[in-house]
A and B are shown apart, each in its own frame.
Chain A
Amino acid sequence: GQQVMQIPQYQHVQEGEDFTTYCNSSTTLSNIQWYKQRPGGHPVFLIQLVKSGEVKKQKRLTFQFGEAKKNSSLHITATQTTDVGTYFCAVTNAGGTSYGKLTFGQGTILTVHP
């Protein structure tokens, strides 16, 4: 089945520092989604990337989809304590026939120290 590696597993930062999490696949992806899960909460959709080389921004968050559509990154500029949580990528295979099947990465747990 689809494999996706997400790194790092944990990241501790001081408030104000930047943060990046990466998602890597050995196969070409159809699209990639990013989710945020606050401690004790449920995953909440952030964004979907579809096009090769696509870059999208949401305030302090920047999302990139690699040119080969095999990797993606989520970058947070100047982290705040409200950014604490686990960030997941979720992917679907290009040319896949498993309708509705999303594969999630292992997640990156972000801790922000005030």
Chain B
Amino acid sequence: EAQVTQNPRYLITVTGKKLTVTCSQNMNHEYMSWYRQDPGLGLRQIYYSMNVEVTDKGDVPEGYKVSRKEKRNFPLILESPSPNQTSLYFCASSSREWGEQYFGPGTRLTVT
């Protein structure tokens, strides 16, 4: 089954404790993105990747890092999480530049 998976689905952590949210897709898509969703703000792009080792900042990259060492994986790293990073995070992939986005199930992160 074609899908995007994310782990963990839920995470409660404390300020400053480094964490990684994994994202994997099995559709051989070149394009992958991370979004955060907050009430009233819609989905805001954090980072995106056009291919292996090619990444670029989205609209809200501060406090986040990404890597794309393999085509299927695109982890999101929070080196020192803060409470304002409490949000719902979605990973997405696409076969085409600006094409249909396939979203993962989401990761709900709470930073206390």
B70 contacts A by Cβ under 8 Å: no
Give residues 78-114 of A contacting B (CB, 8 Å). 88, 90, 92, 98-107
Render B62-103 as a binary contact track against A, CB cut-off 8 A, 1 for contact. 000000000000000000000000000010101001111111
* Nearest chain A CB to B37 CB, angstrom units: 9
A42–B103 touching, CB < 8 Å = yes
* Nearest chain A CB to B59 CB, angstrom units: 6
B24 contacts A by Cβ under 8 Å: no
What chain B residues lie within 8 Å of A105 (beta carbons)? 42
What chain A residues lie within 8 Å of B11 (beta carbons)? none
A45–B98 touching, CB < 8 Å = no
What chain A residues lie within 8 Å of B43 (beta carbons)? 43, 88, 90, 104, 107
SS of B interface (majority): strand
What chain B residues lie within 8 Å of A98 (beta carbons)? 56
Q: Across the two chains, which residue of chain B brings its CB closest to A2?
A: B59
Which of A9, A31, A44, A102 is the most central at the interface, judged by chain B CB atoms within 10 Å of its CB?
A102
Q: Across the two chains, which residue of chain A brings its CB closest to B41?
A: A106
Interface size on B, residues (CB 8 A): 28
Which among A1, A44, A102, A107 is the interface contact of B98 at CB below 8 angstroms?
Answer: A102
What chain B residues lie within 8 Å of A90 (beta carbons)? 43, 101
Interface size on A, residues (CB 8 A): 26
What chain B residues lie within 8 Å of A102 (beta carbons)? 33, 45, 98, 101
* Nearest chain B CB to A24 CB, angstrom units: 14
What chain B residues lie within 8 Å of A30 (beta carbons)? 98
A101–B42 touching, CB < 8 Å = no
A-B contact pairs, 7 of them (CB 8 A): A30-B98, A31-B98, A45-B100, A45-B102, A101-B48, A102-B98, A107-B42
Query: Interface on A for B, CB 8 Å cutoff?
Result: 1, 6, 9, 30-31, 33, 35, 41-45, 48, 88, 90, 92, 98-107
Extra contacts besides A30-B98, A99-B98 (4): CB < 8 Å: A101-B48, A104-B35, A104-B44, A106-B42
